[in-house]
Amino acid sequence: MNLLKTLTLIIIFASASFAVFDSSFPDAVSSAMGDIPSSIGPGPNSLFEGEGIAAGGGYRRSFNYADFDELAGWASWSDSKFGRALLNVSSYSVPDISSETRFALGYSRHLFADIHTELDLAVKANLLSLSYGESTDGIDLGSTMGASFDFAARALIYDRTSVFILVDNLTATNLGVEGDIEVPRAVTGAIGYSPYTNTNMVFHVRREAGRDFTYGLGISAEPHEIITFRLGAATNPDRITGGIGLKYNIFRFDYGLKSHPVLPLSHTINLGINLVR
């Protein structure tokens, strides 16, 4: 049993050590909906969703292991005339190994709209900071910083169907003096559909450079204005996702979890306020 636990921890540490900026912001809504990238997901970190002024924080525990905890915060402002501005900050660290901090500022705006169709475009600038701990003989392994840009677009058709495209790291940014620390580059396409009132579905396909395609499907239902249930699934690796959302007055709480073929569950929690004007 101890051997199995040790091997599991080695797998976790190995995957975490080489996955630099490899995950979205801790977004419980997007995580529960088939683990869709938060930038185009239905959660508070979306470049397109949300009204008025909102702010909140997020917490993710990957594989139910405390050393992989990630914290995040966001603030957004939306106006039908001027567009939507979004600020994200997240911090993830593996003790004595590495620490990742990301600041992101996104902006989206309607390009055009008519009676049946709407097209929105968005850009996001990311400031990335990566630092390593000390070696076994006490030598500081150093740190590095870089900037990257993302692009996204959404077409809304008849208020029921949405088509998304997201390009992560459009600038192909790498970190390190010699650029040998790769920051993930990926393209995601997604289709959202609302078959009934307060019921939504989203399907996405993601291709990250050097990896296989990832597919995901998420479904949400809101039987009452204060509660939302979410369920989903994704591939590469195969996982089941789910969660719940609660809203009361200006306050919201969201919880999401996802499975893994061999490792424990990952949990994400968001708390926030939404001041709709």
pTM of the model: 0.86
Give the mean pLDDT of the chain. Answer: 87
pLDDT of residue 16: 40
Residue 57, token pair as written in the block: 């924080």
- Residues whose CB falls within 8 Å of the CB of residue 128, separated by 6 or more in sequence, listed in order: 21, 100, 101, 102, 145, 146, 147, 148, 173, 175, 183
Identify the H or E element spanning 132: strand 117-132
Q: What domains are there in the chain, each with its CATH number?
A: 2-275 (2.40.160.40)
pLDDT of residue 98: 77
| Mean pLDDT, range 24-50, rounded to an integer | 92
pLDDT at 169 over 80: yes
pLDDT at 227 over 90: yes
Higher-pLDDT residue of 170, 178: 170
